[in-house]
Structure 1
Amino acid sequence: AEAGRFFCTAGRGLEPFLAREGLTLGRVRRVFSPKVDCVSGKVFFRAAARPGELRKLRSGERLFLLLKKHSPLPVSRNRGKMLQEIKSLVIEEPKYWLDIISVWRKLHGHEGETDDVSQENALALKRKSEEETNTTSKRQKTEQVRAVVSEECQVEAGETCVAPERTSNQECWIESKTSSEFPPKGSGETPSANEKLGFSFRVSCRCSGAIAKILTSQEIGRAIGITLVKQCGWRADLRDPDLEIFVHLNDIQSVVGIPLFRLPLANREYIKTAGLRSTVAWAMASLAEISAGSLVLDPMCGLGTILLEAAKEWPEACYWGSDISDLQLEGADGNIRTAGLMDKIELLKSSVKALPLPSESFDTVISDIPFGKKFKTTNDAQLLPDALQEMERVLRVGGTLVLLLSQELRRCVDGLTKCAGGDAAEASADSDSGAAPAQASSVDGNSSSLAQGGGESVLSRRFGSLVPEGVYAVSLGKTDAFIHKYRKVSAPGQK
């Protein structure tokens, strides 16, 4: 099959994970081309793949069919000129949009449906082509556009109205940001005969950087919406469209695409109660070097998201989860049952400071250390040395430790392990790695000592077998976090 052009959005910091995942899938399934382009928040690639194969991407948020990818639009104080530049992103020959809709319908699973929508759009596009040489037809088409805009958006339309004045706060043409999913079908309303005739659409516009200082997302989306109505004869429908046009303009690039799925890739049907973001959990598991027969432990498993992501991707390993909270374990058990992984994941109640498990019994230890925000843990800093000591104890020599830490807890861990890492710590993504003081702020803002009666050298000797192998900054939405990877190089007391 011919390779299509796609892009996938990703949380900040997860772009390298998504790119690597795509290349790995490419080598295994001959799906992805070797060239993958990463920018902030997006990964662009070519793929000769069915939607079911593309849906297997675990570290991405939303997947799009790529229509346009250009350099950033020139910024001008002339708003009319800028709107003309923006409209040029969607002005194409009639055949272009017919081909795009055909590709989208096939990818979206509409192969077996009748082609009445395509035929209707073919007529509309043909009329648009004739307008270029027929002024009478052009005037008729303009009147049609005016009627549609007047009825649906209550604004003035026509050739002079590329950015119509708003008469209310309601936006009928666009959304100012990308929706997490399409509106559900079947709203209970019976569409009129006129509504059934045209292909419906909406524009989801995101605008940032210099261009956002001149034009709003609403103005940009309105201009693009009117252009598509005039050019293609489509009908604007914010609530329940057949098609969504995604437009993202910033100082890096201009991107136009169509979402391939109604729900984001990050929405996992097998997770009953959401905890840690599934994409971040998958990224952590991907660093853990899990293989067939591996024994994997999450000693602070919470709702079990990390274990679920790992067990789904690497089902031939054995997984254990531990937590001190009955409520968290109950939620984890519900998630495990929903995912059908009862035979893969075992749960036990215990404190991370005193795990009832043999020393050097696990190949991988992986955990999201509570941040003291969502779960209101007030003694994270004091807990960390004992928790790390237990994780180190149950980890086999040569095994991997993967932790998700807040900025403050990251400084704590760097203080605990910096002497052991030596030069390896210099490979950290941030220059302050290994140089932070062994102090952290608790939830109430007071400073709490990590080493009661001891110093950094004592703590470093306690965790001398853990050598840092990488730090990855990721976004959890309103909070930034860091994935730390360590390898155990020796047993306690050995060098």
Structure 2
Amino acid sequence: MIRHLYCTAGAGMEELLAEEVQHKLCAFQVEQIPGRVFFCCSADMYTVTQLKSAERLFLLLRKAEPISLPKNPAKAAAVIKERVVGAPDIWKQTLLTWTAIQEELQSSQQRGHKRRREEDEEERSTVADESTHTLTSSTHLLQKPSEMDKESHQHTPSFRVSCRCSGVIARSYTAQRLSRTIGMAIKEHLGWKVDLREPVLEVNVYLSDDHCVVGIPLLKHPLASRSYMKHNGLRSTIAWAMTSLCPKQLNDCVILDPMCGVGAVLLEAAQEYSNAVFLGMDTETSQLQKAAENLKASGMEGRVQLLRSSAMEIPLADGAVDVVLCDVPFGRKFSCSSDMPTALPHLLREMERVIRVGGHLVLLLSLQLSAQLKKIICTHKHNQHLNSSDTNNVHTDPSNTCNESTDRPKTLTFHKSSSEASNTPLLISSLQAQRTHKVSLGSTDAYIHTYTKIQHSH
């Protein structure tokens, strides 16, 4: 059965989500707008709930042109009834589809419980059968069967409206006022029952200058809430994006995170690639303990090795790993925010050293550190100019800082940290820039930078 669905996504994640639904679900009619990706697919719903770059999953009820509401309340209600609510038959069919999807997901959950019980019996495990990590973060969020069977099969399910608006319409109407108006229109037009506390259905409405979108969530909580993350670190969707943006597939690779924290990046990579070897390092024992608990919850204890060590002195041989994935701390791991820009050059040098030729470096950097990184990128020609200069300043050719799509290799050029006696520039001429992708971390933005090691360092 073909379903018309959409997912919400964090800023900067829309393109990655569109690629993921096409690759994993063979989706078609894929369309992305800021914060949302629409698609059609016939994949089973358990597979759909395994999307890693999405925030929430919805059954699409209506996608229309933007609406303009008159200031007169009665006229505005009439417009909403016609343009937002529309024909009752569409809602009835959507309710039937929603119910069928819930039943399908319930069946998947029950099969998952049964598989987990059988595995526990075979292994004679004493661990309680929660089976959450088998189904990841999705099916345990469903409606209770008794609720669904009791109400959603009826023609008058309970519901509430959650509305978000922006642009011109937001200057005349609050989201709360629009939610009430839309809710009254649905009640009058369809006969559904309003329940603001524990409704069977939640109707989500998004109104902007460009779109009018109406959908019904298929799960109670976000797909981004991973059940195996007992201790939260980097947002799971961003951690997955770092893996996704790596220029190569990670199977049969050795992957290192030299500043792993609670292990979010490695866990997302390990969920995707079963034949890779993962190594996580951190200086904080408390962080490694939390990472170990996350690994245990996810069933990845044997696949991710943890080591207490400093990223400034990685205890690995040159060229020992295929990929380095690292969420570089935004100044919090050092005594003050100004220390990270000082430490960054040496951190990069160590990461580059342990990567083999042909391997990759993927970094998540704050805007400040990204700006520093751009300032120290220059061409080989400019690098030669720097070598012939007796100066402590890095001069960057502006024509090269903004042209990240060029095929010519880029060079990372920086000075040694203040702890080193020499002021001679420490040069890295072996990393070629591949891609820079901006993402939102909620309260701030960041960049994911990817590099390929093209030659041995000198």
TM-score, normalising length: structure 1: 0.74
* 1:220 has 2:178 as partner: yes
Q: 1:105 — aligned with what?
A: 99
Change (3 A) 1:299 1:111: closer
Partner Cα separation in structure 1 for residue 34 and residue 244 of structure 2: 21
Letter in 1 for 2:308: K
The structural deviation recorded for 1:80 is 4.4
The structural deviation recorded for 1:343 is 1.4
Q: 1:44 — aligned with what?
A: 38
Partner Cα separation in structure 2 for residue 336 and residue 111 of structure 1: 26
* 1:362 has 2:327 as partner: no
Partner Cα separation in structure 2 for residue 67 and residue 332 of structure 1: 41
The structural deviation recorded for 1:453 is 6.7
* 1:388 has 2:378 as partner: no
Change (3 A) 1:91 1:22: closer
Change (3 A) 1:471 1:253: same
Residues 345, 414 of structure 2: 8 Å contact kept: no
Alignment of 1:202-221 (within 5 A): 202-221=160-179
Residues 142, 220 of structure 2: 8 Å contact kept: no
Change (3 A) 1:49 1:15: same
TM-score, normalising length: structure 2: 0.79
Alignment of 1:57-456 (within 5 A): 57-74=51-68, 76-78=70-72, 80-109=74-103, 198-288=156-246, 289-373=248-332, 378=337, 379-419=339-379, 426-428=402-404, 454=423
Change (3 A) 1:36 1:111: closer
1:400-433 CA-partner distances (Å, limit 9, x unpaired): 100000011111222233335998864449xxxx
Residues 6, 59 of structure 2: 8 Å contact kept: yes
Letter in 2 for 1:234: W
Partner Cα separation in structure 2 for residue 475 and residue 253 of structure 1: 22
1:93-123 CA-partner distances (Å, limit 9, x unpaired): 443222111001001227999xxxxxxxxxx
Residues 300, 322 of structure 1: 8 Å contact kept: yes
Letter in 1 for 2:17: L
Partner Cα separation in structure 1 for residue 341 and residue 74 of structure 2: 56
Residues 431, 451 of structure 2: 8 Å contact kept: yes
Partner Cα separation in structure 1 for residue 303 and residue 264 of structure 2: 14
- Secondary structure at the residue paired with 1:108? helix
Residues 308, 336 of structure 1: 8 Å contact kept: yes
Larger Rg: 1
Partner Cα separation in structure 2 for residue 69 and residue 376 of structure 1: 50
Partner Cα separation in structure 1 for residue 278 and residue 169 of structure 2: 49
Partner Cα separation in structure 2 for residue 421 and residue 53 of structure 1: 50
Partner Cα separation in structure 2 for residue 239 and residue 182 of structure 1: 20
The structural deviation recorded for 1:72 is 1.4
Q: 1:142 — aligned with what?
A: none
Aligned Cα RMSD in Å?
3.2
The structural deviation recorded for 1:74 is 2.6
Letter in 2 for 1:208: S
- 1:489 equivalent among 441, 454, 457: 454
| Structure 1 unaligned regions, length at least 5 | 114-179, 187-192, 440-447
Partner Cα separation in structure 1 for residue 176 and residue 75 of structure 2: 17
Count residues with an aligned counterpart: 396
